[in-house]
């Protein structure tokens, strides 16, 4: 799978996996600061593999909320995986491979898959990114849990800034397309407006409404047989 991707794509996937690992350090450190045992963030990282719902789950438990409330909130945030499944049904494989492929489904793996041309490249990007995150996220969480027992003010490290910085760098080339830029702007504005009112993760889900601006309203070229 790695040989199917070119150098730039492999580099981008490696950077995203590294950024996910760094955010995992932040998650593990926050877990340790909240009084959870060192194995908790590593275990949830491997079994859930969804950063936003894990942060929300941890935050609710740390604030004194019940496990069922935390579980319900995490499932609600992960509702965005439903459209993800419709976007990449052909890259997951069959049988046990499909079960593992479904477990690896997250924002990054789906984005890399749909950006490729051809099924072999889509599968290579999806599985390479997914397996990389499966290693980097729990490992980062474990390191963060160990670090959290030493550094109590983990927010001062600024680890949470790395992931959005890498994602922003990856999407900049796509913003050259006017319809994409219009949709991204609408989605960002909608998500920012709803951030004070909705739990973490849901504003991004609602921001999918910006996709209505992806429709190209430009007139077709002369001589085109398109309606």
What are the tens digits of pLDDT across the range 90-111?
A: 888 788 888 899 999 988 898 8
Residue with tokens 């579980």: 71
Same domain, 126 and 79: yes
Residue pair 79/202 in contact by the 8 Å Cβ criterion: no
User: b/e map of 110-148 (b: 16 or more CB within 10 Å)?
Assistant: bbbbeebeeeebbbbbbbbbbebbbebbbbbbbbbbebb
Cβ of 213: how many Cβ atoms within 10 Å? 16
Cβ of 73: how many Cβ atoms within 10 Å? 20
- Residue-range definition of the domain harbouring residue 189: 177-216
Distance, C-alpha 21 to centroid of its chain: 12
Same domain, 154 and 212: no
DSSP string, 40-59: HHHHHHHHH--HHHHHHHHH
Residue 227 in any domain: the answer is: no
Mean pLDDT, residues 69-84? 84
Same domain, 48 and 83: yes
Same domain, 17 and 103: yes
Residue 72 in any domain: the answer is: yes
Same domain, 201 and 133: no
Same domain, 33 and 132: yes
Question: pLDDT tens, 137-181?
Answer: 999 999 988 887 776 666 666 666 655 666 676 677 777 888 888
Cβ of 161: how many Cβ atoms within 10 Å? 13
Cα distance between residue 77 and residue 211, in whole Å: 19
Residue pair 102/92 in contact by the 8 Å Cβ criterion: yes
Same domain, 127 and 21: yes
Same domain, 105 and 156: yes
pTM over 0.85: no
Q: What is the pLDDT of residue 180?
A: 81
Same domain, 188 and 170: no
Calculate what percentage of the chain has a pLDDT beyond 90.
18
Number of domains in the chain: 2
Q: What is the pLDDT of residue 114?
A: 85
Nearest to 160, CA basis, from 106, 211, 200: 200
């Amino acid at each position: 799978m790695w040989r199917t991707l070119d150098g730039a794509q492999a580099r981008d996937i490696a950077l995203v996996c590294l950024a996910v690992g760094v955010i995992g350090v932040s998650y593990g450190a926050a877990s340790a600061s909240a009084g959870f045992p060192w194995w908790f963030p590593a275990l949830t990282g491997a079994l859930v593999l969804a950063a936003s719902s894990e942060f929300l789950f941890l935050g609710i438990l740390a604030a004194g909320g019940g496990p069922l409330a935390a579980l319900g909130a995490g499932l609600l945030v992960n509702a965005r995986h439903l459209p993800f499944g419709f976007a990449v049904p052909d890259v997951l494989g069959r049988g046990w491979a499909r079960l593992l492929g479904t477990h690896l489904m997250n924002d990054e793996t789906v984005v890399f898959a749909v950006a490729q041309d051809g099924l072999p490249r889509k599968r290579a990007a999806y599985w390479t990114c997914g397996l990389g995150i499966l290693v980097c996220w729990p490992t980062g969480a474990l390191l963060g849990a160990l670090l959290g027992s030493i550094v109590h003010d983990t927010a001062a490290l600024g680890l949470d800034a790395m992931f959005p910085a890498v994602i922003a760098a990856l999407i900049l080339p796509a913003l050259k397309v006017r319809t994409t830029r219009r949709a991204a702007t609408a989605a960002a504005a909608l998500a920012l407006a709803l951030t004070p009112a909705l739990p973490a993760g849901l504003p991004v889900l609602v921001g999918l409404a910006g996709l209505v601006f992806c429709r190209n309203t430009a007139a077709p070229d002369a001589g085109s047989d398109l309606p």
